A = this chain, B = another copy of it.
């Protein structure tokens, strides 16, 4: 909302919505025989309900505002930031809307697509800003329909900047935010939660502070559910504003907008745009240190923390909204100082859930995409139903095509030169590939001194859980068992376990040991002989790029490999090895060799041919040790295989 200006008209008030209505058209009523146990009320409530629940429970919260990036690379970085800042547990994030930037388009940098990514791929409750002035009704309806289709449930309704200096009201047009609020309620009934802007010192263009308050009341009475305020520099400003709002009958939540000062220039820029006055006492501190970014930021953090404390301690404020300016450090520091950044958020499921309403009941996924969850969401985005309770056998709807899986948010965050340093400027044989895998596991630098921090199959460094298996993984990768996914067996650890825990507290989580790797046909031949000895204990699927498939899975049934038992609930089994979707994953896993690795090298180059050879000749193998209470036998299986080969 920083960078936005806003005005409200004096149109007549609708009697609708003060935020107290509790059931929306898509509220959490779809219980059925097969419905999911409500693992996490957050997944089933709309934003205004979450806000109310937090207020009732006295549980303080925060939210984060971002603006859309300018470039595709910027988008990739912003999405990584969503993931990192999402870990702190914001109640929602919001994405601003800039009419000049084609905000409703399909461009990877548009507000619409960034908000879509936040909801669907990062699993964040998201508010999409939308401005209305100088736009036709059809344009706006089109944007709203698209937002709904993408799974967005919340709109920040704004007027937007007038074009040019002189601004004139359009007859029957959208002149004020209140027109947009009414339009949303008229056209979409109660589908969206609507947020509007409040100006603690009055909107700069308003006739008066009082007139501005009346405009705000009109927006609320037209159907807005809550208010986020423009930034301010003193807590008293907010307290006065809040009391004045209450005095004229505004009862919905009012969330203070917090702007941690992060630098001299950004502050000046902001002040210019928002026409706010920076208090003299702040100017006095900043001016002398204006060239020392770190000092200004420290001061900004201190100032914000102290103001936020006053706000929270007043008992009038339950949540804080942060203008991040797309930066992480200052806001995160403030949140940590305040103690409302969730250091160790409880995971409702062992994988990050998507926030699309369609996926509300989803609680089972194949393990294969564990390190590529965004790819999984992308490839299942057309599904109408998501598995709930059980994966079920064989008839899953088709996975999306691979042809355009190379979406911007699935791109490696590292540029080509960096990848070459990690994965080898020049490969000399299959062994140099083994070395890359080994270095990724160990964290040791490769022979050129670079650490391997990602792999085509793993966007991120090794999961903490995988670290439990590090020693064995290193050993087998060195010998050409190129692991891309694994989990240890777990026989009933508390659901609060910091490494493997998930779900409500008081429960127990379980896992079957899992190992997935690429390996040569020579090793596969020996492995199959060894597996005969483990026939009843180990399930395997072995497939090459052509789809030749060897398995001992009974009737192509899925095998649950992660499950949890909780007080007063049904069993949750969020991860399965599903034989049918393994074949879809196989295509992706093999394609990554070429798309992400081979193509780093010149065509016909020896390095490229080595990767091509592996792609063409290796097998993708997955193994499950069903006997989870015993010691994981998969390492023994691999040892036996190497012994047989010697």
Pick from A239-247, A319-327, A523-531, A562-570 the stretch touching chain B: A562-570
Pick from A50-58, A307-315, A550-558 the stretch touching chain B: A550-558
Instruction: Tell me which residues across on chain B come within 8 A of A563, comparing CB atoms.
Output: 565, 571
Closest B residue to A579 by beta carbon equals: B568
A31-B393, A33-B391, A492-B629 are known; give 13 further A-B pairs, CB within 8 A.
A31-B394, A33-B387, A33-B390, A33-B392, A35-B390, A35-B392, A37-B393, A390-B390, A492-B492, A506-B627, A510-B565, A568-B624, A571-B571
Asked if A259 is at the interface (CB within 8 A of a chain B CB), the reply is: no
A20-46 residues with Cβ-Cβ distance < 8 A to B are 31-38
Contact partner of A553 (CB less than 8 A), chosen from B390, B492, B560, B568, is B568
A391 to B569, CA, bound (A): 10
Contact partner of A390 (CB less than 8 A), chosen from B394, B396, B570, B624, is B570
Asked if A385 is at the interface (CB within 8 A of a chain B CB), the reply is: yes
Instruction: Tell me which residues across on chain B come within 8 A of A576, comparing CB atoms.
Output: 570
Asked if A275 is at the interface (CB within 8 A of a chain B CB), the reply is: no
Instruction: Tell me which residues across on chain B come within 8 A of A536, comparing CB atoms.
Output: 506, 567
A395 to B624, CA, bound (A): 36
A553 to B566, CA, bound (A): 12
A571 to B391, CA, bound (A): 10
Asked if A89 is at the interface (CB within 8 A of a chain B CB), the reply is: no
Whether the Cβ atoms of A35 and B567 lie closer than 8 Å is no
Whether the Cβ atoms of A31 and B571 lie closer than 8 Å is no
Contact partner of A34 (CB less than 8 A), chosen from B34, B510, B560, is B34
User: For A388, A389, A560, which residue has the most chain B Cβ atoms within 10 angstroms?
Assistant: A389
Whether the Cβ atoms of B537 and A567 lie closer than 8 Å is yes
Instruction: Tell me which residues across on chain B come within 8 A of A395, comparing CB atoms.
Output: 31-33, 35
Closest B residue to A551 by beta carbon equals: B568
CB A393 to nearest CB in B, in angstroms, measures: 5
Q: Enumerate 8 A-B pairs (CB-CB under 8 Å) in ascending A order.
A: A31-B392, A34-B34, A35-B392, A38-B393, A510-B565, A537-B567, A558-B569, A568-B626
Asked if A477 is at the interface (CB within 8 A of a chain B CB), the reply is: no
Whether the Cβ atoms of A557 and B568 lie closer than 8 Å is yes
Asked if A573 is at the interface (CB within 8 A of a chain B CB), the reply is: yes
Contact partner of A32 (CB less than 8 A), chosen from B33, B392, B552, B628, is B392
Chain A: number of interface residues, binned into ranges = 35 or more
Whether the Cβ atoms of B571 and A38 lie closer than 8 Å is no
Asked if A126 is at the interface (CB within 8 A of a chain B CB), the reply is: no
Asked if A97 is at the interface (CB within 8 A of a chain B CB), the reply is: no
A177 to B423, CA, bound (A): 77
A569 to B36, CA, bound (A): 19
Whether the Cβ atoms of A33 and B396 lie closer than 8 Å is yes
Asked if A559 is at the interface (CB within 8 A of a chain B CB), the reply is: yes
Asked if A539 is at the interface (CB within 8 A of a chain B CB), the reply is: yes
Closest B residue to A35 by beta carbon equals: B392
Provided the pairs A492-B491, A506-B626, A563-B565 are in contact, do residues A388 and B34 lie with their beta carbons within 8 angstroms?
Answer: yes
CB A388 to nearest CB in B, in angstroms, measures: 7
A492-520 residues with Cβ-Cβ distance < 8 A to B are 492, 506, 508, 510
A576 to B570, CA, bound (A): 8
Closest B residue to A491 by beta carbon equals: B492
A32 to B558, CA, bound (A): 13
CB A362 to nearest CB in B, in angstroms, measures: 11
Instruction: Tell me which residues across on chain B come within 8 A of A32, comparing CB atoms.
Output: 392, 395
A555 to B29, CA, bound (A): 12
Closest B residue to A629 by beta carbon equals: B492
CB A568 to nearest CB in B, in angstroms, measures: 5
Instruction: Tell me which residues across on chain B come within 8 A of A569, comparing CB atoms.
Output: 554, 557-560
A438 to B624, CA, bound (A): 48
Instruction: Tell me which residues across on chain B come within 8 A of A31, comparing CB atoms.
Output: 392-395
Contact partner of A570 (CB less than 8 A), chosen from B539, B560, B565, B627, is B560
Whether the Cβ atoms of B553 and A559 lie closer than 8 Å is no
Instruction: Tell me which residues across on chain B come within 8 A of A553, comparing CB atoms.
Output: 568
A387 to B570, CA, bound (A): 13
Whether the Cβ atoms of B394 and A537 lie closer than 8 Å is no
CB A202 to nearest CB in B, in angstroms, measures: 45
Provided the pairs A31-B395, A32-B395, A389-B390 are in contact, do residues A554 and B568 lie with their beta carbons within 8 angstroms?
Answer: yes
Whether the Cβ atoms of A537 and B506 lie closer than 8 Å is yes
Q: Mark A373-411, 1 if CB is under 8 A from B, else 0.
A: 000000000000101111111111000000000000000
CB A614 to nearest CB in B, in angstroms, measures: 29
Whether the Cβ atoms of B34 and A570 lie closer than 8 Å is no
8 nearest CB pairs, A to B: A567-B626, A33-B392, A389-B390, A539-B568, A571-B573, A560-B570, A389-B389, A35-B392
CB A245 to nearest CB in B, in angstroms, measures: 34
CB A4 to nearest CB in B, in angstroms, measures: 40
Closest B residue to A566 by beta carbon equals: B626
Whether the Cβ atoms of A557 and B537 lie closer than 8 Å is no
Contact partner of A557 (CB less than 8 A), chosen from B37, B394, B506, B559, is B37
Q: Mark A450-478, 1 if CB is under 8 A from B, else 0.
A: 00000000000000000000000000000
Q: Mark A227-271, 1 if CB is under 8 A from B, else 0.
A: 000000000000000000000000000000000000000000000
Whether the Cβ atoms of A565 and B557 lie closer than 8 Å is no
Whether the Cβ atoms of A567 and B555 lie closer than 8 Å is no
A372 to B132, CA, bound (A): 65
Q: Mark A530-551, 1 if CB is under 8 A from B, else 0.
A: 0000001101000000000000
Instruction: Tell me which residues across on chain B come within 8 A of A491, comparing CB atoms.
Output: 492
Instruction: Tell me which residues across on chain B come within 8 A of A552, comparing CB atoms.
Output: 568
Closest B residue to A387 by beta carbon equals: B33
Instruction: Tell me which residues across on chain B come within 8 A of A560, comparing CB atoms.
Output: 565, 569-571
User: For A510, A555, A570, which residue has the most chain B Cβ atoms within 10 angstroms?
Assistant: A570
